[in-house]
Amino acid sequence: MPDKRSLLVISHPGHELRLYGWIDQVQPVICILTDGSGGEGVPRLDKTLDVLRALGAEIGPICGELSDRRIYEKILHHKYYLFDRLCKRLARLIVTYDIDIVVSDAMEGYNPTHDLCEVLVQAAVAIANKKKHPITRHYTFPLMGDPRQAARDGENAQTAPRAIARHTIELIPLQFKHKLETIRDYASSAGEKLQQEIEHAFHTYGEHAFACEYLFRAPVPKQALEQSFTQAKPFYETYGEKQVAAGRYQCVIRFREHILPLMNRLYARIPAALPADQQQ
C-alpha cells in the first residue's frame, strides 16, 4: 500500500517495532497516545521518535501527551471525556490529512490501553468516513505472541473475530536485520524488563517469526470485539488481581465494568446512517 496516504495510531512507544518494515516502506503519519511511562512513571517516547525519524515517518499531532497512570485513572473513575476528545481529534486528522488507510493496535485483552486504541480508531474512522470520499479503511496489527499464529487464526472465523482479508509485508534480509538490531537496541535502552520480554519472544517463537508483518481488516464494531471476552477474563484483569493482592495496585480495571461502557460510549458516536462497510 505504498501509494496510499497512511496513518499509524499506537497506544505506547515501542509498538512501532512490530511494524518496522511497513513503516520503512510506507512512511506513514504516526500518532502515539501515551508517553510509555507505564507503572514506573519513566517515559520512553524519545527513543521511539528517534526510530520513527530514522525511518522517514511523519510525527502526527497526537504524540505522547498522556501518561499511562492518567489513562488508567480516567478509566477507573469512568471519566470518559478524555477519550471523546481523542476520538474527535483522530477523526479530524483523518479528514484533514485525507488518510486512505489507518492502522492501529489490535484489541487482544492484554492491556486496556491497547484495546481502547482499536476502539478509538474504529470510531474515528467511521466519523471521518461520513465526511470524506473515498472512505478510509481500518487495519489492526497483533502485538502479543507469534504474529504468524495471529495470521493463521485470522483464517478461521471460529477462532478469531478478525477478517480473513489482510496484507502481509515480507521484509527483505537487510531490512529484517535492521529490524532485529533496532529492537534489541531499543530494549537495552528501555530497561531490563523489556529486554527480558524481547529475548523471551525471540527464544519462544524464533527471530524469523518477525520477518513478516501482518495487517488485518478491523472487525465490524462491538460484537466482534466484545465476544472475545465473554468466556474468559482478559489478561489485564487477572494480572491486576495479582497486583492488588500483592499490594501494588488499589483497583483492578475490568472489561465489563470499565472498558465495555467506554466502548459503548465511543460506538455511540458512530453516525447511525453510515453503511456497514464504512464502519470498518
- The 10s digit of each residue's pLDDT in 131-145 is 988 899 999 999 998
Give the residue carrying C-alpha cell 446512517. 273
Q: Using the predicted structure, report yes or no on whether residue 164 has a pLDDT greater than 60.
A: no
**Long-range Cβ contacts of 161-164 (<8 Å, 24+ apart):** 161/219, 161/224, 161/225, 161/227, 161/228, 162/106, 162/216, 162/217, 162/219, 163/216, 163/217, 163/218, 163/219, 163/280
pTM attached to this predicted model: 0.91
CATH class of 6-268: alpha beta
**Structure confidence by residue, pLDDT tens digits, 91-104:** 999 999 999 999 99
Sign of torsion, CA 210 180 195 117?
negative
pLDDT at position 225 is: 57
pLDDT at position 173 is: 96
Instruction: Name every residue whose Cβ is closer than 8 Å to that of residue 98 and which is 6 or more positions away in sequence.
Output: 5, 132
Q: Using the predicted structure, report yes or no on whether residue 265 has a pLDDT greater than 60.
A: yes
- Distance separating alpha carbons of residues 111 and 227, to the nearest angstrom: 17
